[in-house]
Each structure stands twice: as structure tokens, then as C-alpha cells.
Structure 1
């Protein structure tokens, strides 16, 4: 029996970009333009349009946005749910606060130490007479602590909920330590009553306006750094560790090193935010860096969108603005609204505001493709 094989003519393969890849490509093209627009709004429009009090509030929100940016990098890109960023925020804040208190006291005992009966300046405080040392400590100490903790934890493959609980316990332990050392840290009241920064009156509108520009520019620089890091080979490796850590390990990479570096970068950003927060707001206390504030940082990122760095920043600004506006009308109801909002976002919109915007953009694109003559217009534009 003879079998005849019939040759089927080959059809040209139509390669279509996956929707996710197309979305990422479009975001990459529009990202720099959007960054420029936001930068112009923050640096040119906001200082003119807002009164000093509201501008100071915006500077405070942007400090929180720096912390959220680090969480977006560690949680959104690396899958590390860190519930203890208040620790690193507090270290940066207390470093700057110690310098400001010593500067106001002329290098002698700060006022709260006098009230607590302390007779000589503790050795821990002495180096903070130098502003350079204080600024360095605000960054180096959080990075060093995060590096040591990351190597100890990630080497033992602690991840998921266990890592989150560990970081949360660290925040609770720091608060207990700070409250218990009244003569060294100010106890529950923390450090407050700052008057001068580099010879400038902190209460003056001009000083606060200058601080706003410093915070906004710092946020922009750190955002560009995080954006470039996420687009680099290291950023792709970080996402691979998040999605398939064991497979990355089998390929010869060390996930513990990748996660430790990212965790340290996020800690350094939180330390910078804390150092900027103190002269802007005028206080640093255990109430600002415990378990609840650390959870609020995570809620900000979740609401804005943890998978997009811009979403994390947007979430921090929107949540804090909503907190201010809602608290002015209903002083005791914000926590309930915040909890309900977090539950709704995690159940109905896991991608946050950034995810909703991306879905809306995709819906508009589908509607445009469904219109008559779309294919002809696309072919004409391609030609």
C-alpha cells in the first residue's frame, strides 16, 4: 500500500506581542514624559499654588512617599513583605533629631536630659554634634542593620509571612527600647522643639519652602535610581527571585544576596525619609515608627499599586492627603476607613490605583481596535 504525503503550504507566522509586554513597553515610553510632568507640578506649580501650611503638608507626604518607594521595590519587585520599615525611618529620624537638639543646645545637654536628671552628655550622643555624621548615620545605620538582618534571615530561607512577622517584631522591639530610655531618647515624647537648621530658623516660611524643594528633589533622584535599578539586569533577577526563587537558585544565583541588597536599599530610603521628615514636621517619637505606622506604609503601597514604583509614590500621597482631609471632618474614623480601604483593594483591585489605570488604558485600547477601519489606520501609520 502506497501512502501519499500531502504537503501543506506554510503560513506566515504572525508574531504578536503579549499584552503584558506591550503594556510594559508603552509604560517605558510614557514613563520619562510622565516623570517630567510630575516634576514640573511638584517643583513649579505646587510652591506657587499652595499656601505655606499646605506646602509643608505636601513635603510631609513626599517623605512618606520615599519610604513607600523602598517598600514598592522590596515588596512589589522582590516579594518581601516588610512590616518594619518604621525601624529604619526612625533611625534616620532620630539621627537628624539628635543633631538638631545638640545644635539648639550649643553642644551641651538637650533640655529633656536636664529634666530627666542626666548630668553629662552620653557618649552615644557626642558624635551627633557633626551634621555630616548625623546625615551619614541616617543612611549607613539602616543599610547596615538591614544587611546584617537580611543575610541572617535570607540565608536560612525565611520568607513570606515569617519574614513579615520578624520585621514587625523588630519595630515593636525598637519602640519598647526607645520608650524605656527616657534620659537617652526622650521616652514617649521623643525629640521635639527644634529651632534651627544650619543657622536657619526652622519656623520661617522660607526655610520650610527650601526644605520642600530638598524633599521633592530627593524623591525624584531616588525614584530615578529605583526605576533604573528595576529596569536593569539586577531588577529582572529580582523579579525572577520573587516568582521562582528555587529555580533561580538552581541556575547558579544566590537569592539571599539579591534580596539582601534590595532590602538594604529600601532601608536606606526609609532612613533618608526619616532624616528629612524631622526638620519638616518638627518631631520624631516612638509613635511615628512603631507597628501601626509600619503597617500604614504597607497600606499606602498596596492602595497605590505595589507592582509599579509610581503607584507606590502615588498611594503614599493620596492616602496621607485622604487622612488629613478625613481627619479634619471625622477625627476618630480614619483608622476604620483605612482598614476597609485596604481590604477592598486587596480583594477587588490587587494592583491598586496603578492597576486600575492600566486596566482602563487597556479598555480604551480595545475599544479603539474595535472601531471600523482600525486595521487600515494602523497599516497606514506603520507604512
Structure 2
């Protein structure tokens, strides 16, 4: 018995949508808020999966793009809650006039637009300069972490303009709706759910299109792609910027539901955790990014509540087990089991998991000396 790959994607999408729509009927207000936050993380994870799973770019700095998007939204919310006066943290820091770069955030539409464009602009600068000079692999990962250190240091040091280590919080309304009201939170949750579905459909389209095939080719044999007439720099910069835009979008939905953003949420540790979401869910699957983000953060919350002293050890053990024994993640492992049971190969299609996608050996993905590339 074989199953159509397209049918599986459609079925999973509808199951995911149905699950998100009925979740408010079974979850308390607190748990629903957590789920909404996890779904915001899933938006970021899908973009990260496109650049890591399909293009072979391991970014350890996506917390920066997430944080920039969140700060752009939070700046608007803070100005609204200040009711025309100077934000409280600025007054405490001795700032006497609203800085010029805060002025555009008085408009919600401009704030949302900048929450997408600012991460894209930063990603374009870093991506173009590094990819043009053929910096990749571990060297690019180190540079992305350097970006995190620079950004966090900047945000912490500029207390009067960014809120410093405390970040931005104490928001009242968004588009006239009180953000603390249960009805508003429910509305934001549903908006997040539909954005997740829209992002999933878009990412699946990209991965299955000609662009997706070129991205996989760039990952597996970048020099060969260059020799046949394609410019890998163009594709890598584009998908990196697209991923940054999704991270900014995730930041918007996060701050609307969480009500706070600080430099700690865009640091090195959160950036590494974002990569782990994709690894645990199944790199190179898109679906796995959603599952990994929700499952990992749910486990983190559950362990921290039940075992406050032991939960970091339990969570770390879970990561080690996945990397050592399930390198393809949750989705990849299920695909292997389905193949073993005779459900693969799909009719006229390949597995959801693209070639070379297992976590083990990711550092060799862009190496043309890899024996797999000489076959």
C-alpha cells in the first residue's frame, strides 16, 4: 500500500488547523496563552527549517531577527500605553524627548511593516557579505552568534532607548482592544493559528517548487550549482532574508501574547534552542518544525512545573537522545517506520525528508568533497 505525498500534506494541514481551532474548547486561558506562544515559535521554526534543512545554512543567531520584530511591535504598544507622554523607562533614564527613531512606531501599520523589514535588512547585510565571500558552515554559524552578542550588548547598554535588561512591557491596548482581556487574547490566538497555516502552505510551496529544488542542490553541491549557471549567493540571500521575515512575524505574535520582550529572549541560548526545535521535529520537513517547536516548548514547560530543579537536566537528556538515536527527528523517524511497514515509497513522489537531512553530519552538507556528491 502506498500513500500520496500530497495527500499526506493536505491531511496533516487540515488536522493541524482543526486541532488549533478546537484547542480553546479544552484549554484554560493560561494554557491557551502558552499554546499561542508556541505557535508563534513554530512560525520562526519553519523559516529556520528552510535555511537549515533545505539550504544547509546553520544559523545560530535567529534570536536577533525574532527580537527585532518583537521590539518593533513592542515600541508601538509602549507608545500607545504612554498616552502621548514619554515612556516611563525613558523618563527614569533622563531622556527628555522621544528619539527620532521611535516616531514611526506611533502607527500600528508602520510598526508591523518595520517588524518585517528591519530583520530582513539586517539579514541581507549579513547574508550578502558572508555568502558573497563564500563563508559557510561553522564559520557562518560563528558569525551569526557574533551578531547575537553585538545586538544583545547594544540593547542592554542603551537603557534610555530600549529599556535595557528589563526590555519593554506594561502594554494596554492594540488597535483599540485591551490586550489583557480574554476575548482579545482569544482573537490573537486565532490570528496566530491562521498565520501558522498560511506560513506552512507557503513554505511547503517553496520547498516543492523549482526554488526548493535549487536550494537543496545548493545545500548538497554548491559548486556544481554555480558551474551549471546558477548563482548560489542570490538564492541563499533570498531564503535567509525570507527566514528573517518569518522570525520578525513570529516576534510580533509573541509580544502580543506574552506582553514583554527583553534582550534575554534574543540571546545565544534562545537562538540555539530554536535550532533544537527544528532538529527534534525533523530537519527538512517543514511539518517537523511545527511539531518540534510545540513539543519541545511544551516539554520544557511541563518539566519546569513538575521538576523545577531537574528540568534542565531532563530537557538536555531529551536533546541528547534525539541527536544520538533519532537524528532525523520525530517526523523523519515516523517516515522510516512507514517505509519499513511498506507505506513508502509514495506514489510518484519522494519522502517528506529531503536527502542528506539527518542531523548527523550537518557540517558536511555544503562540502563538494562529500562522497555522496561524487556519485
The partner residue of 1:62 within 23, 27, 39 is 39
Specify the alignment match of 1:26 in structure 2. Answer: 4
Residues 302-324 of structure 1, C-alpha deviations (whole Å, 9 max, x = no match): 00011210001100000000011
Tell me the alpha carbon deviations over residues 210-238 of structure 1, each in whole angstroms, 9 at most, x when there is no partner: 00001111111111111101111000000
What is the aligned partner in structure 1 of residue 19 from structure 2?
41
Structure 2: segments with no counterpart, 5+ residues: 345-375
The correspondence for 1:347, drawn from 292, 304, 324, is 324
Instruction: Answer yes or no: is 1:125 the counterpart of 2:110.
Output: no
Highest Rg: 1 or 2? 1
CA distance in 1, matches of 2:287, 2:87: 40
Contact 1:107-1:129 within 8 A present in 2 as well: no
Equivalence for 1:328: 305
Provide closer, same or farther for how the CA distance between residues 366 and 84 of structure 1 changes in structure 2, counting only shifts above 3 A: closer
CA distance in 1, matches of 2:211, 2:259: 38
Partner of 1:194: 171
| Offset, 1:347 | 2.0
CA RMSD of aligned residues (A): 1.5
Structure 1's unaligned 5+ residue stretches are: 1-21, 368-383
- The answer (yes or no) to whether the contact 2:89–2:160 under 8 Å persists in 1 is yes
| 4+ residue runs over 4 A deviation | none
The equivalent of 1:52 in structure 2 is 29
Match of 2:257 among 260, 263, 280: 280
Residue 363 (structure 1) shift: 2.0
1:113 corresponds in structure 2 to: 90
**How far apart are the structure 2 equivalents of 1:151 and 1:366?**
42
TM-score, length of structure 1 as denominator length: 0.87
Provide the secondary structure at the position in 2 that maps to 1:125: helix
CA contact (8 A) 2:64 2:148 kept: yes
For the residues of structure 1 that align with 2:158 and 2:313, how far apart are their CA atoms? 32
The match for 1:218 is 195
2:79 and 2:106 in contact (8 A); partners too: yes
Partner deviation per Cα, 1:104-149 (whole Å, 9 max, x = no partner): 1123211111122211111111111011110000001111211121
Cα shift at 1:366 = 7.4
Please show how residues 94-113 of structure 1 align to structure 2 within 5 Å: 94-113=71-90
Matched with 2:160 is: 183
